[in-house]
Every structure is written in C-alpha cells, then in structure tokens.
Structure 1
Amino acid sequence: MRPPRSLLYWPVLGIALAPLLMALLGLTHPTDLTTSTVHHWTRLHLWLIPLFPLIGVNLWWLLSDLRGWLPWAARLGAFVYGVYYPAVDLLAGVATGRLLSSGVDRDAPAISTLFQQGNALGDIGNMGLLLSCVLTIAALWPLRGRALLPGAGCLLLGAWLFTENHIYRPWGVLAMLLLAVGFAALMWVRQRPAKQANPEYRVN
C-alpha cells in the first residue's frame, strides 16, 4: 500500500536541508581571508564542518536499499567525497584562519601551504562527488527512468558548480540551491512505487 502523501514530504525536505543551509552560509562567505574577515572566516568554516559531509550522506540516502555493483560504486564515490573534501574546510578554512588570528602574516608560506594542501585534497573529493552523482543517477535509472531528468539535471549542474566555486557567492550559492532542488526532486521520484527490477539489481 502506498504511504500517505504527507509522509513523503519529510525525506524530501530532509535531504534538501544541508545544501539549503550551506547556500545561506555561502551568502556570508568572505571573498578572501584577510585580517578584517578572519574571525568570520574561521567561525563560518567551523559551522561548515558537519555540513559538507552531508552531501555525501544524501547520495547514500538516495541509494538506500539498492543492490548491485553500480549503487556500491556510487556509494564509494560519495565516501571519497566525504573523506577528502572536508580537508578544504579544515585546512584552508579553520587552520588558515587560526594562523592569521595568531599573528602569522597572510602571505606567509605556512598559510599558502595550507591552502594548497587543502585544495589538493578537495580536488580528490570533487572527483568523488561528480562520479557519485553520475553513478547515482545511473543506478536509479532502471527503476525510475525519464522521471529522474529534472532532478538529475539540477544535481549534476549543482555538483559541477560546487566543484568550481566552493560555496562562494554567486555561483557557489547557486550550486547549493541546485543541489537542494536536485536532491529533493530525486528523493520525490525515488519514493514512487518501483518498476519491476532485475533480481541482481533491485530495491528491497
């Protein structure tokens, strides 16, 4: 029996919450780390610590109960994102802010090294995110088909803009909004009764 429509809203709202919060935070993200922005820069990245990994958690949520190699490959990509991308937040966000607050010069090699290392690890996370988004859509396609297209388009465009712009306004904020819409749309379609699936690739 199909669940009441009201029960379908909560996962849709829940999966959109993290990117929506990051879009709001992105509106306040300083364009650069300076002595005048350092305190907000540091606080902002401390707030972002629990939020960035939730993008990967959302992908696992969309893949819940899916079996087969393709869903697990998508989960692996989300795991890579969840492990490596937060390094941007911790190294290029929190650590650089703390150093500048302690009196280290903005152009000091230590701060440059933290930015470079954080961004290098973040690039690995970005590749994991993009791969996971593509594979998640591919994993859901046999069960949902063309109904996925609006949400898939938003998800892929949002993920690409995010990898290029972090959450800096305007494009990074737009990236988070697109991710929120994409996740919500895919979750809504995901909850529809499934088509008959291959026994080696099915939803429980």
Structure 2
Amino acid sequence: MLILRNIALATVAPLVLAVAGLAHPHGLARSTAADWTQLHIALLPVFPLLTAGLLIPLWHRPRPCLAGFATVVAWVCSFGYAAFYTGLDAVAGIAAGTAVENVGATVSLGPVKRPLYATGELLGHVGVYALIGAIAATAGALFPKHGVRILPGTVVLLGAGWSFVDSHIFWPRGVWTMLGFALGFALLTLGTTVKRVPSMRMA
C-alpha cells in the first residue's frame, strides 16, 4: 500500500540512527576511537536522510502561493541541515576519532579533542536549527490542504528537533529522540496520505 510504503521510507533513517545510538560509544578515548570513527563513517550517508520524512509529504503537493513559499523554505532548510550536520559527523566524529586513535600515548587527549568538538558542535547546532525550521515550514506548506491532521506529527517532530540540539544519538535521550522523529514522520505521512472523509449533509 502507498501509505505503508511512504511511512517506511519516512521512518527508516531515524530507526537506523536509533539502533546505531545503542552501539555509539559514550565517550571518545583511545580504547573507543576506532569504533567511534567507523560508526561515524557508516552513518555519514544516513544523517542527511532524516529529512526524507519531510520531503516525502511535500513531494508533488499542490502549491498555492503561500504554501509554495513555505515548501521552498522547507527544502532550503532541509539542505542546510544535511550540509551542516554532515559537518558535525565529519569533524567531531570521523576527524576526532581518527586523531585520538593515532595520537601518541603520552599526549593529552583534551587539546586534541576540544577544538574538533567545538567546531563540530557549532556545525551541528546550525544543522539542527535548520531542521527545526524545515519542520515548521513543512507544516506551513501542508496545513492549507490537510489542516489539523498534520498537527500531531508536527508537534512530535518539533519536540524531537529540540531534543536533537544537544542529544545527538547518544543513549538514552538521543535514541528516544530518533524514535520520536520516526513517530513524528509516521504521523505526518499518515496525516497527508489519508483522505478526508466527506461530511454527511442532512436533507
């Protein structure tokens, strides 16, 4: 069925990230550096796909003037998230893990990690705020046609987005955040796929 296919496509990325969060090292040390690096390399193409849960409901939708502007904003913000959060993954994930794995045993790790974490955190915050903007713009684009049916998914997604600002995918909150995205995307997709039931008119 079309509904089940769309829900599956919209939720696969956050569900994969939730599972990955269970295996994510809680800290970066010499003993965890290899796993840290390899996990972030594996997830490099997955994080940008989080926006699929927004782009699927927006695809081929009628675009009156205001809704069309909101759709453009949603696409631009989705691109911003994909670009900047990939930067976090590359800098604080792959680069930091590689540096710690290869630094000398007598070298303090703090000066190695802190600059990479600081840069990665900045990139990640920009990316997540762009994602929150994309969620709000998607709601604005879909509301004229679908009305209140998109509100449950939007509310769940905004809550998950706010949690994502500082949770990444770390267990426990990061994993629950990804599950929140999966639920929100499923509700949003359902709200834009199920047809409105015509009201019965009394003779």
TM-score if structure 2 supplies the norm length?
0.87
8 Å CA contact 2:10, 2:54 repeated in 1: no
Assess, with a 3 A threshold, how the Cα gap between structure 1 residues 84 and 106 changes in structure 2: closer, same or farther.
Answer: farther
Q: How far did 1:95 drift?
A: 0.6
Instruction: Supply the distance in 2 between the matched residues of 1:64 and 1:31 (Cα, whole angstroms).
Output: 37
Q: How far did 1:62 drift?
A: 2.2
Q: Which residue of 1 aligns with 2:41?
A: 46
1:120-199 correspondence to structure 2 within 5 Å: 120-193=122-195
1:62 corresponds to 2:64: no
Query: What is the one-letter code of the residue matched to 1:163?
Result: V
Q: How far did 1:7 drift?
A: 2.8
Q: How far did 1:124 drift?
A: 1.1
Deviations 1:156-180 (A, max 9, x none): 1111111121111111111100100
1:10-25 correspondence to structure 2 within 5 Å: 10-25=5-20
Assess, with a 3 A threshold, how the Cα gap between structure 1 residues 187 and 162 changes in structure 2: closer, same or farther.
Answer: same
Instruction: Supply the distance in 1 between the matched residues of 2:131 and 2:108 (Cα, whole angstroms).
Output: 31
1:27 corresponds to 2:22: yes
Instruction: Supply the distance in 2 between the matched residues of 1:158 and 1:41 (Cα, whole angstroms).
Output: 24
Match of 1:115 among 102, 114, 117: 117
Instruction: Supply the distance in 2 between the matched residues of 1:192 and 1:69 (Cα, whole angstroms).
Output: 24
Q: Which residue of 2 aligns with 1:98?
A: 98
Q: Which residue of 2 aligns with 1:200?
A: none
Q: Which residue of 2 aligns with 1:202?
A: none
SS at match of 1:33: coil
8 Å CA contact 2:11, 2:186 repeated in 1: yes
Question: May I ask how many residue pairs the two structures share in their alignment?
Answer: 190
Select the structure that is richer in helix: 2
TM-score if structure 1 supplies the norm length?
0.87
Deviations 1:142-165 (A, max 9, x none): 111111222122211111111121
**Root-mean-square deviation over aligned CA pairs:** 1.7
Q: How far did 1:194 drift?
A: 7.1
Q: Which residue of 2 aligns with 1:198?
A: none
Instruction: Supply the distance in 1 between the matched residues of 2:184 and 2:53 (Cα, whole angstroms).
Output: 11
Query: What is the one-letter code of the residue matched to 1:130?
Result: I
Instruction: Supply the distance in 1 between the matched residues of 2:114 and 2:29 (Cα, whole angstroms).
Output: 13
Q: Which has the larger radius of gyration?
A: 2
Q: Which residue of 1 aligns with 2:87?
A: 87
Instruction: Supply the distance in 1 between the matched residues of 2:75 and 2:2 (Cα, whole angstroms).
Output: 26
Instruction: Supply the distance in 2 between the matched residues of 1:157 and 1:90 (Cα, whole angstroms).
Output: 26
In the alignment, structure 1 segments of 5+ residues that lack a partner are 1-5, 196-204
Assess, with a 3 A threshold, how the Cα gap between structure 1 residues 92 and 106 changes in structure 2: closer, same or farther.
Answer: farther
Query: What is the one-letter code of the residue matched to 1:150?
Result: P
SS at match of 1:168: coil
Identity level (%): 34
Instruction: Supply the distance in 2 between the matched residues of 1:10 and 1:106 (Cα, whole angstroms).
Output: 50
8 Å CA contact 1:92, 1:119 repeated in 2: yes
